[in-house]
Amino acid sequence: MSSKLTGGCLCGAVRYHSPAEPVLAAHCHCDDCRRSSGTGHCTHVVMPESGFTVTGEVRFFDRPADSGSMVGRGFCPACGSPIYSTNSMMPDKVFIRASSLDDPEAAKPAMTVYASRAPSWDPIDPALPAFPEMPTGGPKAAIPAA
C-alpha cells in the first residue's frame, strides 16, 4: 500500500517519486523510442499522474505520435537521461522510462508494441504479447483507467 516508486537521472539533478502502483509497463519499438533510447526500444512504466512528483529541471521534446497525440519526452538537460514522457491523450498518466528507475525490477513489462520495427539485434520477449504496431484503439485502449 505504501509502495513507492523512485528514480532519477544519471547526474542526480532530477529525482522523482510516486506513491502509486504502476498501471502497466510495456516495451515500445517505435522509431521515436528507438532513437531516443540508446538501443532498440524504450520500456515505459505507466503511472498515475496524481501523486507523481519531480524535483529538478526536466526539459521536454514534443513530437506527435502516430496516434495524433502529442508525446512529450522529458529528459535531464544536464546529463541527457530520459526520465518520463507525457501524452496529450492521457493527461492523467505519466510514462516513466524504466531505465530511470532506482530499482529496474520494479518494471514488469506486460506487452510489446511496434514489434514489427524491432531491429534484429534487439529481440522481442517471446513470453509477452507482441503487437506489430500499436494495438487497435491506441495506447489508451491498452491502459486500464486509473
The site for Zn ion (CB under 5 A) is made up of 9, 11, 13, 28, 30, 33, 76, 78-79
* φ, ψ at 138 (rounded to 5°): 80, -175
**H-helix segments, the chain:** 31-37, 138-142
As measured in angstroms, the least distance from the Cβ of 30 to Zn ion is 3
Residue 5 or 9: the one with the smaller Cβ distance to Zn ion is 9
As measured in angstroms, the least distance from the Cβ of 12 to Zn ion is 6
As measured in angstroms, the least distance from the Cβ of 99 to Zn ion is 12
Residue 60 Cα to chain centre, angstroms: 14
As measured in angstroms, the least distance from the Cβ of 2 to Zn ion is 27
Residue type, 104: P
Residue 3 or 79: the one with the smaller Cβ distance to Zn ion is 79
DSSP letters, 32-67, are HHHHHHSSS-EEEEEEESTT-EEES--EEEEEE-TT
The CA distance from 54 to 75, in Å, is 12
